[in-house]
Structure 1
Amino acid sequence: MISAGNIRTFSHPVYFALLSAALVLTTLLPANAQTPQQPESSQAQPLDSTNPNVASPEAQNNSLLSVQGGQRLMSEASSAISAQNYTLAAKKLQDARQVFNQVSNFYQELGTSFSGIDNRLADTQRKKALETAQLRDDATYQLALVHRAQNKPELAVPLLVQVIRSQNPTRELGKKAYQQLLELGFVDAPLPRSGGASSSGSNRPSTSQQK
């Protein structure tokens, strides 16, 4: 039972001040406030072939920085050439050339990194570097032909020289590049028909970076 003394205590000004503050806090807090829910599971999911965050070989093939990405650009350039859209063709070939060049250099760096550690893996990467360098030189040669079609020999000549330096003049693509220089009048001495001139250079394309 509440006594008169209690009534006097409740009527004290301090009590009413505390009661008012409690009412204010109750008004400010949302009625349905709940404790934030924790995620059902905070454990990291294992990375496996079924995890969508792991890049699959098919996803890599769709990447621009890949052999397949460069080949798609080459195909697009071929379509542009057929339509005589040489500006677009030159852009696609330049992009393909840069992609092949970067990929070739990456394979070469991987081969060097594994040299003396895993020679089989190192040889595999070097082989890929050479194969991609060949694709780069093909794109460079095609780009030079497009510049010839645009009547821009000042752009074609440096590209043809790069092809010869990378391929070696005795290889088929090197011979074609030299023939283009001959037709442009940049050189005046044709290659010997017999190919009797000896060469001490490598019979493989160079994996050195092109600009």
Structure 2
Amino acid sequence: MVSSGTARRLGFTCLAGLPLTVSLALLQPPVQAQNQIPALPEDTSQTQPDLTDPNNLRPIDPDSGLLSMAGGNRLLSEADSAVSSQNYTLAAKKLQEARQVFNQLSNFYQQLGSSFSGIDNRVYESQRRKAVEAAQLRDRATYQLALVHRAQNQPDLAVPLLIQIVRSQQPTRDLGKKAYQQLLEIGFIDAPDSAPASSSSDRSNSSSSAPKR
């Protein structure tokens, strides 16, 4: 049988050794952390193309891309089909998209052309002609969109579009006169257009710059 004095000595010895045991336990890293294997980075060399390789740089496909004259004309054709089937909601969507495409193209061509003004007249004239063509198609899409809004009994939406066309095409051009006539029919204006139509020479001279928006 252990005496009370012996028990006290054993208890004191256990308590004295406790801090050392705790310290050793804290110094040892967790077993779970030791067994974890860091994840290796994924090998993306097979999934991501080398963008520095000229063979990987593909040009814009006019047959499938939207940012092209062909892409905008395709949207106009889809809008015409939607109007023929009296699906005016779809027609308005397609015309709005075509309008945005042609407006972007006109701005881009005009910006490129102005960069070559006084440097390379050949590039300047080429980009200027493209800007004018894109602007004409933009205004055509805008006019058709205004007519679709009228067919939907939404003349308030057609008015600002028609005013944009008059400003862009000028009241003497065919499309500008048509837009002004639409404003007259809607009742937004009450003064008939008395401006003379542009002659062929006027049209050729006015086409030297892109219609303004």
What is the TM-score with the length of structure 2 in the denominator? 0.68
Structure 1 match to 2:110: 108
Contact 1:108 1:207 in 2 (8 A): no
- Closer, same or farther: CA 124–86 of 1 in aligned 2, 3 Å: same
Contact 1:163 1:177 in 2 (8 A): yes
Deviation at 1:203, TM superposition (A): 2.8
Count of residues in Structure 1 that have an aligned counterpart in Structure 2:
160
- Please identify, of 97-106 and 115-124, the stretch whose mean Cα deviation from structure 2 is larger: 115-124
1:146 is aligned, of 129, 135, 148, to: 148
Structure 1 match to 2:76: 74
Contact 1:105 1:208 in 2 (8 A): no
Task: Find out whether 1:203 has 2:196 as its counterpart.
Answer: no
Structure 2 match to 1:24: none
Structure 2 match to 1:178: 180
Contact 1:105 1:207 in 2 (8 A): no
Structure 2 portions without partners, runs of 5+: 1-45
Structure 1 match to 2:14: none
Deviation at 1:62, TM superposition (A): 2.3
Contact 1:108 1:129 in 2 (8 A): yes
Task: Find out whether 1:62 has 2:64 as its counterpart.
Answer: yes
Contact 1:167 1:206 in 2 (8 A): no
Structure 1 match to 2:85: 83
2:157 is aligned, of 155, 158, 166, to: 155
Structure 1 portions without partners, runs of 5+: 1-38
Contact 2:67 2:105 in 1 (8 A): yes
Q: Percent identity?
A: 64
Supply the RMSD in Å over aligned alpha carbons: 2.8
- Closer, same or farther: CA 165–55 of 1 in aligned 2, 3 Å: same
Deviation at 1:189, TM superposition (A): 1.2
Contact 2:92 2:145 in 1 (8 A): yes
More helix by share: 2
- Closer, same or farther: CA 46–94 of 1 in aligned 2, 3 Å: closer
Deviations 1:97-122 (A, max 9, x none): 00000000000000011112111101
What is the TM-score with the length of structure 1 in the denominator? 0.68
